[in-house]
Amino acid sequence: MKTNAVRVLDTLGVRYELREYEVDPGALDAETVARQIGLPAEQVFKTLVVRGDRHGIYLVVLPANAELDARALARLTGDRKAELVPLKQVQPLTGYIRGGVTALAPKREFPVFVDETAELFDVIAVSAGVRGTQVLLAPADYLAAIHGTVGPIARTRA
């Protein structure tokens, strides 16, 4: 399937693999996706939409088994605080629905912050911009494609 996200990668000449999975509308979480595509949760990355109190909207890319460390993100961005935007605002801001949000080819360009653990792997998985398809690619290629900033912005759930 050729999504806008995949078209961006093609234009940049990035090598990638698409991995499709069965979508369960009741289980759109990234940990479920990781199981369905056969990768460990720490290697599958979800994209969240966050608003900082000083600098506005960001896309934040975290491992499936982690949650946002809002204080760490705020320190990185220069905000006093940062919080997830309400789900009803995600699609109008990004053009993507829950379970298909990606930092590749969003409706509008936003600064992107990626958790530093992405660089630990040879390959990571991110949404292809649609539910049911993940893109597997090298972290360096992903970071270059999204112009992402790397930092310690996630904490693993207990």
For residue 78, give the CATH number of its domain: 3.90.960.10
What is the average pLDDT across 103-122? 96
Least confident of 13-22, 24-33, 112-121: 24-33
What is the average pLDDT across 126-135? 96
What is the predicted pLDDT for the residue at 25? Answer: 87
What is the predicted pLDDT for the residue at 64? Answer: 96
What is the predicted pLDDT for the residue at 142? Answer: 98
First to last CA, the chain: 36
What is the average pLDDT across 116-141? 97
Take residue 47 and report the two structure tokens written for it: 């994209």
The 10s digit of each residue's pLDDT in 88-110 is 999 999 999 999 999 999 999 99
**How confident is the prediction for the chain on average, in pLDDT?**
95
| Domain containing residue 49 | 4-156
Burial pattern 20-37, b for ≥16 Cβ within 10 A else e, equals ebebeeeeeebbbbbebb
In this predicted structure, the answer to whether residue 158 has a pLDDT above a threshold of 90 is no
**Residue 45, CA distances (Å) to 51, 54, 92, 100 in order:** 19, 26, 22, 12
- Per DSSP, helices labelled H in 38-147 are 70-77, 87-94, 139-146
Contacts of 11 (CB under 8 A, 6+ apart): none
Beta bridge partners of residue 66, listed in sequence order: 156
Residue 60's pLDDT band (cuts 50, 70, 90): very high
Number of domains making up the chain: 1
What is the average pLDDT across 49-62? 96
